[in-house]
Chain A
Amino acid sequence: MTSQRLQMRDISKRYGGVHAIRHADLEIGPGTVMALVGENGAGKSTLIKILAGAEHADTGSIAIDGEEVRIASTADAIALGIQTVYQEPHLFQDLSVAENFFVGREITRGPVIDWRAQAPRMFDLLDLVGLDRRVAALPVRYLSIAQQQQVSIAKALLEDARILILDEPSAILTQSEIDVLFNVVRRLAGEGVSIIYISHRLDELFQIADEVTVMRDGQTVSSDPIGTLSVREIAERMVGGALTEGVRTTTTSGDAMLELEGLTLDGAFADVTFDVHRGEIVGLYGLVGAGAADVGDVVYGMRRPTSGVIRVAGDGRPLRSPMRAKSRGVRMLPANRSSQGIFSFQSIAFNITIGSLRLLSRLPGWVSQRSERETANRLITRLAVKTPSMRQPVSAMSGGNAQKVVLARQLVERPGLLVLAEPTQGVDVGAKEEIHQIISDLADAGTAVLVITTDLTEVLRISDRIIVFRSGKVAAQLAPTATQAEVLAVAAGHRDDEEGAA
């Protein structure tokens, strides 16, 4: 019996007082594609980081080809033949594909790079991943994201890889690009490479994986050949039997504040139709890349749709910019706090009032200090932002508090429609509760709320209705009484899977 290529046994890791993983096991044979699935926070990332040498395990052992090994650094991992390819290709955009292959490890004759020695290997790898050899001379900038990812994979194989970790590779790819990726994966497996394939897209796993390991709450729940399970069963193992307690007690709703009809954005989503009424919270759930996030951008005027209608409070004129959207009563909390939300070295007061400057005084163009103070105070109190002073720069705040500040910005004037993208990402549990309560109270007071999130627990907790996105389309509408497994199955499941239908 050939020994397993990789055996990780009883791995545990704590961060501070919290266990990220507990007694996790992972075993893969040579030439096997092992899918590793689990919700955010289930421990997949930590397990992979330990394998890649970026983190150290507190307990447990790792054996490769039967021999126990110590992985103390990323260099150790690479030396053992463990390569990782991340979701975002980390390539030098202005250097050619060939140069990206060898940067930092060029073979040289004296000062000169010895392409004759280096290039054959690179061409072989380009062939292997299915890229035309002509891309070698192109600056990476000119390649599509999918091609850049292929380059990343090829690059990872440069030093003979025995174990290849692919972290959510299909999230940014179109269907045809995914097919290409799968061919590459199959070919590599055929050559004996063990592949760990991390993905949320459960339906895909059936096309590419041989086995699937499910993680939940830091533990490996199961590990089985993929043929023995269904999408629904995998989903259930990922989320457990947990029932989510909803925050929403009363749901009264008024007129439609937002109506989308046949909304299409090429490359993101197509033919989206739903509405959001005053007083209700609609949760939009979809995996990364499913197109849900883009809907928010379009509603807020950040991007222009290809076709379709958006009506805000009955007004169907196009929303050309965030300024226009705001003038119609739409506010949006952006998904990425640090790059899109906060003004890091400005004060809390600045951050709160920057979205509503014209309100701060009666004279046009003027900012009244007192008005600013009052507004900031009012919102700091209302949202329970923890801070000694409103003059403190936001950069010093924790994630939860900073998120409250950005949320406060949207609430200076009561919005007619509030769109929230990933409202509690990177936020501690306490602040998460508080933010959910704030959102719920807002809805009760009459605002129409659209929450776009990839957090499964959150969407079940906070929504009156759940709209599930998959592959750029509305896949189903579910009630908040659905189980996590049901929602996940729809979002991640195969189109023809009968269990995915609402």
Chain B
Amino acid sequence: MSTSLPEQRPSGAWPRIRAWIDGGGLLDRRAVIVVLLAVLIVVMVVLDVAGVTTAPLTTDYFAASLINIVPLALLAIAELFVITTGDGSIDLSVGSMVSLVGMVFGILYGTQKWDFAAAAVVALLVGALLGWINGFLTAYFRYPALITTLATYYAYASIALVITNASPISGPRIQELYGAAQSVELPLIGAYVPLVPLGVFTFLLPVAVIAWLVLNRTTYGRQLYAIGTNSTAASWAGINTRRSQLLAFVISGVISALVAIYTVAQFASARPDAGTSGPGMALPAITIAVLGGVAITGGVGRIGGVLLAALLIVWMNASILIVVPGNAGSQLQFLALAVVLLGASLVDVTNSRSRRARARQSTSAGGAGGVAEMADSAASRAE
């Protein structure tokens, strides 16, 4: 049948993005980030030699700056799981979950003097429960994820404040944790390598490795990518899409719980606004995830890209501070983030457009009904 009009679509922006992703538009993101990192290092070295930097450019400094990467990268990984399930999935509540679980942990470990392991396990379970609520409302009640997590963002933040009447929990036991987040010398090779924050090894790397394994080596990971790429086809292939999406939110909750524990250690106190002060933790995490190659429409996203993006941003911020110290520097960080995010997104679009054009030229004419042409024509109709 001939139809010269496009098919009915639920909203205007998502399918446009899908169309250019179909051309493999995001596969180059890691390369882009590696290039940016290289550029950054080169620029910094040049500035250092030129004497423009206000503090010495040492590897110790950059290693120490990694203390900020832990919560950022972890939450970005959480967002990767959620956003990759597709259909507008997103988690705005991670900051509030961090706050709330942080308070629970603070109460159990600090006030009630529980064992660290016991308190940590309960904290993780609470995180899982909070994530489960998000997942249940989104996957089974079919609320849009933006709305569910907006609501729980408010709800969880509120509960965090209420249970201790807005006062942080500190105390000697919690203060002892402070060391857990600080920089340490690595065993064996420690003398030759800069001091790296312990949290990178105790929190970030294990989670990153496990997340990578889950995404790339488990059936669940495959199901996740399948649902995000095409949830209808996933149902046809026999995947339980609802359960998988629910699990992604639970994972997000568990990771948020880990970040909560880390944050308590990092600041030596459990603050009820830990995750919700300022711009919050969700939006920077989502920004890092998107920068790292996670497609907002789902189905695409790699741990490597997210880690690289977090590294880029953390080091970029650290670099800015030694070139332009103080408040002027921290202001510049916002500009840099805007430029990097917008730049990377726009580069992708032009990149995939030219790739599609090249593909069109090389595809032979006999592919009527071929998938490439469908994606192609969908994309060009959208132009």
Contacts and interface: CB of A to CB of B under 8 A. Distances in A.
A344 B230 contact: yes
Contact of A366 (B1, B218, B359, B368): B218
B220 A323 contact: no
Contact of A350 (B218, B222, B232): B222
Interface residues of A, number: 58
B359 A345 contact: no
A196 B300 CA distance: 46
B1 A16 contact: no
B366 A428 contact: yes
Interface string B231-243: 0111111111000
Interface in B268-310: 299-300
A352 to B, nearest CB: 11
B269 to A, nearest CB: 39
A425 B220 CA distance: 32
B2 A16 contact: no
A48 B2 CA distance: 8
A122 B371 CA distance: 40
A397 B21 contact: no
B375 interface: yes
A395 B238 contact: no
A358 B218 CA distance: 9
B13 interface: no
Contacts of B238: 321-323, 325-326, 355
A426 B21 CA distance: 23
Contacts of B319: none
Given A48-B2, A323-B240, A343-B230, A367 B371 contact: no
B8 A49 contact: no
B24 A397 contact: no
A402 interface: yes
Given A357-B219, A357-B222, A365-B218, A49 B371 contact: no
B370 A367 contact: no
Contacts of A399: 367-371
Interface string B353-376: 000000100000111111110110
A479 interface: no
B4 interface: yes
A340 B235 CA distance: 8
B369 A332 contact: no
A74 B236 CA distance: 38
A476 B179 CA distance: 81
A423 to B, nearest CB: 13
Interface stretch (A87-95, A107-115, A127-135, A435-443): A87-95
B225 A350 contact: yes
Contacts of A338: 371, 374
Nearest to A74: B4
Given A48-B2, A167-B1, A323-B238, A366 B217 contact: yes
A398 B367 contact: yes
A49 B366 CA distance: 20
A344 B378 CA distance: 13
B153 to A, nearest CB: 28
A23 B282 CA distance: 64
Nearest to A87: B1
B22 A426 contact: no
A332 B236 contact: yes
B23 interface: yes
A168 B239 CA distance: 35
A467 B240 CA distance: 33
B232 A344 contact: no
B211 interface: no
A268 interface: no
A342 B234 CA distance: 9
Q: Which of B8, B219, B375 has the most CB of A within 10 A?
A: B219
Contacts of B191: none
Contacts of B369: 399, 425-427
A90 B236 contact: no
A297 B3 CA distance: 25
Contacts of A344: 22, 229-230, 371, 375
Nearest to A325: B238
B359 A45 contact: no
B372 A395 contact: yes
Nearest to B375: A395
A398 B370 contact: yes
Interface string A326-345: 10000010100111111111
Contacts of B225: 343, 346, 350
B217 A49 contact: no
Contact of B1 (A168, A321, A346, A365): A168
Interface string A399-417: 1001000000100000000
Which range contains the number of B residues in contact with the other chain? 35 or more
B226 interface: yes
A450 interface: no
A418 interface: no
Contact of B236 (A167, A341, A369, A397): A341
Nearest to A331: B238
A394 interface: yes
B365 A402 contact: no
A474 to B, nearest CB: 25
A135 B2 CA distance: 28
B328 interface: no
B365 A341 contact: no
Interface string B1-29: 11111011000000000000111100000
B370 A358 contact: no
A396 B359 contact: yes
B223 interface: yes
Q: Which of B2, B299, B367 has the most CB of A within 10 A?
A: B2
Contacts of A398: 366-367, 370-372
A54 interface: yes
B242 to A, nearest CB: 11
Contacts of A426: 368-370
Contact of A345 (B24, B222, B365): B24
A86 interface: yes
Nearest to A343: B229
A481 B135 CA distance: 55
A393 interface: yes
B236 A322 contact: yes
Contacts of A485: none
Contacts of B221: 367
Interface string A355-396: 101101000011101000000000000000000000001111
Interface string A59-82: 000000000000000100000000
A47 to B, nearest CB: 10
Contact of A49 (B4, B230, B365, B375): B4
Nearest to A297: B236
Contacts of A343: 225-226, 229-230, 233-234, 299
A365 B232 CA distance: 22
Q: Which of B219, B221, B238, B299 has the most CB of A within 10 A?
A: B238
Q: Which of B8, B226, B236 has the most CB of A within 10 A?
A: B236
18 contacts: A87-B3, A93-B8, A342-B371, A344-B22, A346-B225, A353-B222, A357-B219, A357-B222, A367-B219, A367-B221, A394-B371, A397-B372, A398-B370, A399-B368, A409-B237, A426-B370, A427-B369, A428-B367
Interface of B: 1-5, 7-8, 21-24, 216-223, 225-226, 229-230, 232-240, 299-300, 359, 365-372, 374-375
The 6 closest A-B pairs by CB, nearest first: A426-B369, A357-B219, A399-B369, A398-B367, A343-B229, A45-B2
